[in-house]
Amino acid sequence: MRTAPLGRGGVRATRLALGCAALGNLYRPVDDETAAATVDAAWDAGIRTFDTAPHYGLGLSERRLGAALRGRPRDTYTVSTKVGRLLVPYDGGGAGDDLAHGFAVPATHRRVWDFSGDGVRRSLEASLERLGLDRVDVVLLHDPDDHAEQALREGYPALERLRGEGVVGAIGVGMNQCALPARFLRETDIDVVLLAGRYTLLEQEGLADLLPEAAARGRNVVIGGVFNSGLLTDPGPGATYDYAPAPQAVLDRALRLKAVAERHGVALRSAALHFPFGHPAVASVLTGARSPEEVRDSVAQLRRPVPDAFWHELRAEGLLDPHAPVPSVR
């Protein structure tokens, strides 16, 4: 599978990357065998970039990903994890569950926000232990929405030092908003932004500031959430958007997108996977999967061409930002 650079340190990402939140039992349990088979299916399809975080299942995602990658040549794959939430054991914890945070795991730990330099290093050390690795390739400041100043003043310099020491190859920020990552691009020397849900077939907020800023500075963007929490896989009653029931106006827009796709013989999820690659700043698209079948479907959808006429009709119908670049089959 084709790769693209993430920063200037030699780190590369495959065109399609595997998001591993589901391996942390996002919303519902995934057994160990299915989690391992999901990573195996990604590997067999040529995916060599894997994104995880301590937040995902209170460390379960990192442990499962590390176990699934064990024995594979370390220089043949890229692992990205995140910092900003320390996992602190509960005294006598485990009696409840973590579903309030979206994960079907025992509540053995609590999350403590910490974007200090010490917190960054402690978080990364714990992640390496869970992953069973001596290094990761990419480290991202994870959702510093309410901690912007500490993340900029303390968290980022700590990551910069780790990159300078060769402990990590690329650093950045991962968020589901555009304004703060754009500020990081302007005020720091990050390599990459992971932008979730804000540059998709449904909405193109990232075009206003973040993506042009990244392109102008020669930085890379990884796009997550291309299905907008599942809405663009099969829009209909009960569909979710931003992890909540989709508002009617948003659902109606998704249904209009689906109708155009059907007129061109295109699966909506295929168009959603292809769309971000029209922008020159986009290096990779990150999709979550909780089964081998979901991995194989994403790979198959990305391999199916989307005709230029589809994008033309979206523009004509006012369903796509007129300034949004689109991929071409030519």
Q: Residue 314 has which token pair?
A: 């979206």
27 is catalytic: no
Rounded Cα distance, 144 and 107, in Å? 23
| pLDDT value for 94 | 57
Degrees to nearest 5, angle at CA 218 with 321 and 115:
90
Rounded Cα distance, 162 and 180, in Å? 22
What stretches in the chain show pLDDT beneath 70? 92-95, 329-330
pLDDT in tens, 156-205: 999 999 999 999 999 999 999 999 999 999 999 999 999 999 999 999 99
| pLDDT value for 329 | 63
CA 116 → CA 52, 149, 161, 172, distances in Å? 20, 10, 13, 15
Rounded Cα distance, 130 and 79, in Å? 13
| pLDDT value for 93 | 57
Rounded Cα distance, 138 and 174, in Å? 11
Total-model pTM:
0.96
| pLDDT value for 302 | 96
Do residues 154 and 117 make contact, with C-beta atoms less than 8 angstroms apart?
yes
Beta bridge mates, 86: 112
The catalytic position among 56, 156, 199, 241 is 56
| pLDDT value for 71 | 93
